[in-house]
Amino acid sequence: MTSLSSSAPIPVDLEGAIQRLKKERNAVVLAHYYQESEIQDVADFVGDSLELARRGTAAKETVIAFCGVHFMAETAKILNPEKTVVVPDLEAGCSLADGCPAPLFAEWLERYPGHTVVSYVNCSAAVKALSDVIVTSSSAEVILKQIPDPVVFAPDRNLAAWVEKRLGRKFVVWPGTCVVHETFSERKLVELMALHPDAEVIAHPECEERILKLAGYVGSTSALLKYVTASAGRSFIVATEEGILHQMRRAAPDKELVAAPPDESCSCNTCPHMKRNTMEKLYRALEGLSPAIEVPEKIRLRAKKPIDRMLEMTAGLALEPTGNRS
Ligand code: 13P
Ligand code: SF4
């Protein structure tokens, strides 16, 4: 195995260098749809958070280079403790995970004895360790259908509201939100719809109700991609992080894709955490096998149980190839 010092210059042909390092380090590169397009193109697999968790466990390689945010890579490490899991940038966090610190969450849970604790995968290992089952945006409805009330749901209140509406139920909800999905402007979206009268609005369930009610279709990142590809529609206004547009354009080059507009106070609908990762940092991570994700064993074992439960509860299901119509 060639060992390069981390101060070695970054190669001009970064893509070629990353492909070479993948072989040398016996590494698989997994990337979320919100990664910059170059990273998606160099990855071995691009997916939503559930697909990435599944793909991580199937990996034969001894190293997983995880291009996403911290909780996603942490989930890969929890499921694959024997593998080295590296990330381009250890500081790539998530507003939902950061807004639900485990000590506060534990204190809050004391108010709800006898409730099943269902947590969205966008949370820390320590919060997962306090949970009974984990869900992702593509599996939340399927899993919650199988869990009787009373339920505590954390940490995304918008996803909770979406599933509550779909199932006609009420959960006790931790009031977290995603900084990206809560920025879409209803007023600007209505204006954009008037400019594109034939376009269908499609949205991620982390968006607020005022955006979701305008959407003809709501689903996870993968579900939105599949919907655009399979739908007879020619034009879509996409209300989620703009990284997904890269795969949509590749899969459906003939379709018109318009990014939903954020409000005045925000100039973009990109996830600042996801975009901390760069090709240069991915190269360095593969080169030095660092930074690596570590999870204390006690937490890992407790966090693994509700993730395993999610994987079991969704194992036989081809998860909504076209998501859920609103
Ligand atoms: P997905 O489960 O759709 O990949 O969503 C993850 C996420 O962080 C969306 O903001
Ligand atoms: Fe977290 Fe939102 Fe970024 Fe997804 S888009 S990783 S929920 S901050």
Q: How does pLDDT run across 204-240, given as a tens digit for each residue?
A: 999 999 999 999 999 999 999 999 999 999 999 999 9
Q: Mean pLDDT over all residues of the chain?
A: 93
To the nearest whole percent, how much of the chain has pLDDT over 70?
Answer: 93
**Nearest ligand to residue 180 Cα:** 2
Domain boundaries, the chain: 14-92+274-295, 96-173, 186-259
Residues linked to residue 29 through DSSP beta bridges, in sequence order: 65
User: Thinking of the domain 14-92+274-295, which architecture would CATH place it in?
Assistant: 3-Layer(aba) Sandwich (3.40)
Please write the tens of the pLDDT for every residue from 125-145.
Answer: 999 999 999 999 999 999 999
Distance (angstroms) between ligand 2 centre and the Cα of 12 equals 31
| CA dihedral sign, ordered 248, 266, 276, 122 | negative
For ligand 1, say whether the CB of 89 is within 6 Å of any of its atoms.
no
**51-60, 115-124, 180-189, 217-226: which has the minimum mean pLDDT?**
51-60
The pLDDT value given to residue 326: 39
Asked whether the beta carbons of 145 and 163 are under 8 A apart, the reply is no
For ligand 1, say whether the CB of 206 is within 6 Å of any of its atoms.
yes
As a whole number, mean pLDDT of residues 20-26 equals 97
How far is residue 260 CA from its own chain's centroid?
19
Q: How far apart are CA 105 and CA 51, in angstroms?
A: 27
As a whole number, mean pLDDT of residues 255-259 equals 96
Please write the tens of the pLDDT for every residue from 171-207.
Answer: 999 999 999 999 999 999 999 999 999 999 999 999 9
Asked whether the beta carbons of 258 and 192 are under 8 A apart, the reply is yes
Residues linked to residue 236 through DSSP beta bridges, in sequence order: 200, 257
For ligand 1, say whether the CB of 136 is within 6 Å of any of its atoms.
yes
Q: Could you please state the CATH topology (level 3) that the domain comprising 96-173 is classified under.
A: Rossmann fold (3.40.50)
- What is the Rg, in whole angstroms, of the alpha carbon atoms belonging to the chain? 20
Q: How far apart are CA 269 and CA 68, in angstroms?
A: 16
Asked whether the beta carbons of 236 and 229 are under 8 A apart, the reply is no
The pLDDT value given to residue 318: 60
Residue 317 has pLDDT above 90, yes or no: no
Mutate-to-test residue for ligand 2 from 35, 89, 178, 181, highest number of ligand atoms within 8 A of CB: 178
For ligand 2, say whether the CB of 72 is within 6 Å of any of its atoms.
no
Asked whether the beta carbons of 88 and 282 are under 8 A apart, the reply is yes
As a whole number, mean pLDDT of residues 292-301 equals 98
For ligand 2, say whether the CB of 270 is within 6 Å of any of its atoms.
no
Confidence of residue 266 (pLDDT cuts 50, 70, 90): low
Fold: same for 96-173 and 186-259: yes
Q: Could you please state the CATH topology (level 3) that the domain comprising 186-259 is classified under.
A: Rossmann fold (3.40.50)
Distance (angstroms) between ligand 2 centre and the Cα of 96 equals 7
Q: How far apart are CA 219 and CA 240, in angstroms?
A: 10
The pLDDT value given to residue 123: 98
Q: Which atom of ligand 2 is nearest to the CA of 69?
A: 6
Asked whether the beta carbons of 147 and 320 are under 8 A apart, the reply is no
| CA dihedral sign, ordered 188, 212, 271, 250 | negative
Residue 264 has pLDDT above 80, yes or no: no
Residue 63 has pLDDT above 70, yes or no: yes
The pLDDT value given to residue 322: 30
